[in-house]
Amino acid sequence: MELLVKGQQKAYENGVNALDVFKDLDPDARKTAIAARLNGELVELMAPLHQGGELVAVGFEDEDARHLLRHTASHVMASAVKNLFPKAKLAIGPSIENGFYYDFDVEEPFQPEDLAKIEKEMARIIKKNDREERFVLPRSEAIALMEARNEPYKIELINDLPEDEELSFYRQGDFVDLCAGPHLPSTGKIKAFKLTSLAGAYWRGSEKNKMLQRIYGTAFMDKDEMEAYLARIEEAKKRDHRKLGRELDLFDLMDEGPGFPFFYAKGMVLRNILEDYWRQIHRKAGYEEVKTPHILNRSLWEQSGHWENYRENMYTLKIDEQDFAIKPMNCPGGILAYKRRLWSYRDFPLRVGELGLVHRHEKSGALHGLMRVRAFTQDDAHLYMTPEQIKQEIIGVYQLEDKVYKTFGFSYKVELSTRPENSIGSDEMWELSTQALNDALDEMRVPYTINEGDGAFYGPKIDFHLQDSLGRSWQCGTLQLDMNLPERFDMEYTGADGQKHRPVMIHRTVLGSMERFIGILTEHFAGAFPLWLSPVQARILTITDRADEAAKALKGQMEEAGLRVELDLRNEKIGFKVREAQMMKVPYMLVIGDREAQEQTVSVRDRKGNAHNGVSHEALISALQKEVADKALVQTEAF
């Protein structure tokens, strides 16, 4: 068979492996590759090749190859655990985003100090550089092997696999594990690893099953890269919005209402600022605002397709012996609002926004602070248009999303999600909708990736993935083109020809969920919000009680100017007051002593420790008003 490597083509015997081919045609790749792609498909370096084509070496930059390395690391960890705790039973050990884990059934729970012992044993195994050898067994022999090794969880997995499923194993020294692969050629390819945490996990994710012990870890090809990643993780812990929400008295979640957030006074200030900003930009973009009911009857959700396709995520109830549902989405209510009258093509495009509270039944294990909740406010909008207006409206939505994300300092990536398996509507509608999104993105020259099969059940969509200050990705805004619901709800408008026509509909969010966006902002800014978003913009601190009246007067002036100010008149040392305000992430601390009270000035300190003395009240208020008006992301020095 013929194999092509970097423009060099050569004939090889059937069964040759990629490592030997690279040794022959690309020696550098042999040293750096952790896997290969044959005609685009990922293959192990040691796997026998049975077809010709283009062979490309891949390293840690390849996402699939990263999973391969981390999956191998999970086997190394399992091998180390078995060496140290011979009675441990193996469950599963997959790679995950940025790492891996393995679940074990052990007599006594692992302790944090055990991680260091396991890491030391892993290092010994990696240094041995054992080969990862794949072999296949018939079902009866596979079960016998696992019985001999006393691995009941592996036997259960084998019995649950289809009869025609190939049962493959990997041997690494004395360690053997049931595994579909793929793996690195040997353990020595793992250059850097770290075990990060312990957790409990039910077998197969069911609380009816036994609680197992889960060890998490991560692995990299480069130690410096791993250290940088671990540093980001530590920074992320400091920025955890759940922790900051409590510390800054913004919001919290309680056991009495899992998935149902509490917002406190300062959190409501932040939330209302965001809602005011949302309304302002939408008015400028030609949107009107509506509010639709939280509870609507079953027939509506059957007509929309939610009852059939989304039922397990909906909260339902009975009213007057009829089935109702608390809305998981705003769209059907928005459609009823549209159908209240007959529209003309002259009314289009019609842009309608709604800050709508929705409820979705998320599994308890999936809940995570404000990022995944059961009750949240979607900043929805539904746009209605003629087919000729589709491209221009998509472009308009994109430009609005772009403006908002830049205001908060986010960069973002765009993803086009196509038809899912549970879709409704005709092939023709899906083809037209998907092509319209493609064409609009191409016309704007927006780079994007295709996410096959991840569209909404009623239409394809564009998703916006924000990049925060730690480089993490958050999916927020979405733009969904829909020709199906207008058909299902018999929506109409009068065209220029006087005849009835079907409108085209766009579903769209910008912030996505108000709660989730607040969580993202909290972590993005580490709680130190820019001035225009800060619940408290300045705190006035007095050095002696002789300055109290001047402080109160300044507070009145600033509030009259539209600024949010707190007073700290306590009989405490000024250093203590400043440190406390800094801990509460207050943007500006305004210190008033005897001299400042007499001169009607303040000493201004910002969160970073910069100080400006002798600032007049007028200059202070003017500078802060400008910083707010500009929605500046950095603090002013123009005092």
Measured distance CA(342)–CA(330) in Å, rounded: 21
Among residues 380, 463, 468, 606, which one is catalytic? 380
* Runs of H (alpha helix) within 248-376: 265-284, 298-304, 306-309, 331-338
Measured distance CA(83)–CA(81) in Å, rounded: 5
Measured distance CA(53)–CA(63) in Å, rounded: 22
Does residue 360 have an active-site annotation?
yes
Name 292's Cβ contacts closer than 8 Å, sequence gap at least 6.
Answer: 327, 330, 333, 334, 336, 337, 354, 356
Does residue 351 have an active-site annotation?
no
Cis peptide, bond prior to residue 349, ω within 30 of zero: yes
User: What are the start-end ranges of the E strands in 258-389?
Assistant: 262-263, 288-289, 295-297, 315-319, 322-326, 343-344, 350-359, 375-385
Among residues 382, 516, 524, 612, which one is catalytic? 382
220-227, long-range: CB < 8 A, 24+ apart: 220/60, 220/69, 220/191, 220/192, 220/193, 221/34, 221/59, 221/60, 221/69, 221/189, 221/191, 221/192, 222/60, 222/191, 222/192, 223/191, 223/192, 225/192, 226/192, 226/193, 226/194
Among residues 282, 507, 577, 605, which one is catalytic? 507
Among residues 82, 271, 331, 585, which one is catalytic? 331
Among residues 213, 378, 389, 480, which one is catalytic? 378
Does residue 238 have an active-site annotation?
no
Does residue 331 have an active-site annotation?
yes
Among residues 183, 239, 359, 360, which one is catalytic? 360
Measured distance CA(51)–CA(47) in Å, rounded: 12
Q: Under a CB-based contact definition with an 8 Å cutoff, are residues 386 and 496 in contact?
A: no
Does residue 545 have an active-site annotation?
no
Catalytic residues: 331, 360, 378, 380, 382, 461, 507
